């Protein structure tokens, strides 16, 4: 993958702000994600992973570039890395994502309920461009080219468990890692679904849709994940089934 090659070839020092050295290639500097006067942003210059001790902004070099509109492909070209064509995806317009996102931002009741019931706060809603579509929470799924290739639609109650999470339409539901940019982190936490992967915690999360072995063995997943430390996160539940009386 060209992006793996890019991340191995660049010096993070050239792209991250200067800061005070705190040891083992770790710096601390003023945070760019909030108005910071106390140098709250820690950056690991070996891995490119950053974390703000004040506003909890966190991510890696890919999320950084996405946030500050740095074109990774341009960087790769500058480094002389050839960008191979990837499989063609069906694309959903970003305008639609924007409209759904605005609908959620305008709906204070939903914003409050998401925070209270799921721990998904406003920062998370903005980070993932979450929205509302037909009374479901919409979660746009991006590919490595930052195109929207699916919108997962979540309904919390009132629906059949099998239909709790549905895809945008036919041809959009193939197995995807979410959020895709997190695959470049050293530590990856694998969890059950997009809703869990949305949690804003220091760990990064990659959602593996149903049949994780499919993505791990048959797709590029094995290339992405084999060099990473994986943490498996699962909620174990005892399913209570009623045995029908004969
Ligand atoms: Zn901050």
Q: Specify the CATH number for the domain of residue 72.
A: 3.90.580.10
**75 CA to centre of own chain:** 21
Q: How far is the CA of 137 from the centre of ligand 1 (A)?
A: 27
Burial class of residue 5 (count of CB atoms within 10 Å of its CB; 0-12, 13-18, 19+): middle
| Spacing, Cα 96 to ligand 1 middle (Å) | 29
Same domain for 9 and 62? yes
Asked if the structure places residue 50 within a domain, the reply is yes
Asked whether residue 240 is assigned to any structural domain, the reply reads: no
Least confident of 65-74, 136-145, 206-215, 233-242: 206-215
Asked, for residue 28, whether it belongs to a domain, the answer is yes
Is residue 242 scored above 60 in pLDDT? no
Indicate the number of domains in the chain.
3
Mean pLDDT of 120-143: 92
Judgement on whether residues 70 and 13 belong to the same structural domain of the protein: yes
Q: What is the pTM of this model?
A: 0.61
pLDDT at residue 12 tops 50? yes
| Residue 171 is assigned to a structural domain of this protein | no
User: How far is ligand 1, taken at its centre, from the CA of residue 135, in Å?
Assistant: 33
Long-range contacts of 22-31 (CB under 8 A, 24+ apart): 31/55, 31/57
Query: Residue 165 pLDDT more than 80?
Result: yes
Query: Residue 107's domain is classified under what CATH number?
Result: 3.90.980.10
Is residue 183 within 8 Å of residue 177, measured between CB atoms? yes
Domain shared by 12 and 52, yes or no: yes
The answer on 27 and 60 residing in a single domain is yes
pLDDT of residue 213: 43
Q: Are 102 and 144 within one domain?
A: yes
Which protein residues have their CB within 5 A of the ion that is ligand 1? 31, 33-34, 52, 54-55, 57
| Together in a domain, 184 and 210 | yes
Select from 23, 48, 78 the last residue of a domain. 78
pLDDT in tens, 57-70: 888 898 899 888 89
What is the enclosing helix (H) or strand (E) of 109?
A: helix 108-118
Q: Is residue 30 part of a domain?
A: yes
Question: Angle at which helices 94-105 and 108-118 pack, to 10 degrees?
Answer: 90
Mean pLDDT score across all residues of the chain:
80
Residue 217's pLDDT band, with cuts at 50, 70 and 90, is: very low
**Beta-carbon contacts of residue 88 (< 8 Å; ≥ 6 apart):** none
Gap from CA of 35 to ligand 1 centroid (Å): 7
- Return the closest-CA partner of residue 144 out of 66, 70, 57, 240: 66
Give the helix ranges, DSSP H, for 21-60: none
**Residue at which a domain ends, from 54, 78, 102:** 78
As a whole number, mean pLDDT of residues 53-60 equals: 87
Helix H or strand E segment including 190 = strand 187-191
3-state secondary structure of 81: coil
Residue 173 inside a domain? The answer is no
Residue with more model confidence, 93 or 244: 93
Q: Separation of 16 CA from ligand 1 center, angstroms? A: 14
Q: Are residues 19 and 47 in the same domain?
A: yes
Task: Please write the tens of the pLDDT for every residue from 94-114.
Answer: 999 999 999 999 999 999 999
- The boundaries of the domain holding residue 222 are 180-232
123 and 149 assigned to the same domain: yes
């Amino acid at each position: 993958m060209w992006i793996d090659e890019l991340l191995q070839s660049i010096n993070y020092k050239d792209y991250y702000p200067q800061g005070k050295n705190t040891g083992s290639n770790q710096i601390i500097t003023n945070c760019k994600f909030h108005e910071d006067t106390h140098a709250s942003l820690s950056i690991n210059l070996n891995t490119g992973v950053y974390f703000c001790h004040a506003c909890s902004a966190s991510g890696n070099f890919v999320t950084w570039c996405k946030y500050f509109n740095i074109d990774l492909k341009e960087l790769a070209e500058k480094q002389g890395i050839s960008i191979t064509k990837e499989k063609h995806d069906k694309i959903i317009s970003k305008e639609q994502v924007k409209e759904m996102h605005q609908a959620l931002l305008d709906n204070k009741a939903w914003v409050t309920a998401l925070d209270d019931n799921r721990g998904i706060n406003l920062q998370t809603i903005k980070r993932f461009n979450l929205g509302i579509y037909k009374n479901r929470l919409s979660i746009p799924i991006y590919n490595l080219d930052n195109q929207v290739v699916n919108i997962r639609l979540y309904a919390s109650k009132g629906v059949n468990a099998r239909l709790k999470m549905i895809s945008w339409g036919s041809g959009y539901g193939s197995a995807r890692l979410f959020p895709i940019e997190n695959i470049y982190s050293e530590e990856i936490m694998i969890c059950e679904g997009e809703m869990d992967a949305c949690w804003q915690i220091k760990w990064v999360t990659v959602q593996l849709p149903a049949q994780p072995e499919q993505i791990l063995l048959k797709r590029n997943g094995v290339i992405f994940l084999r060099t990473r430390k994986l943490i498996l996160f699962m909620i174990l539940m005892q399913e209570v089934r009623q045995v029908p009386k004969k």
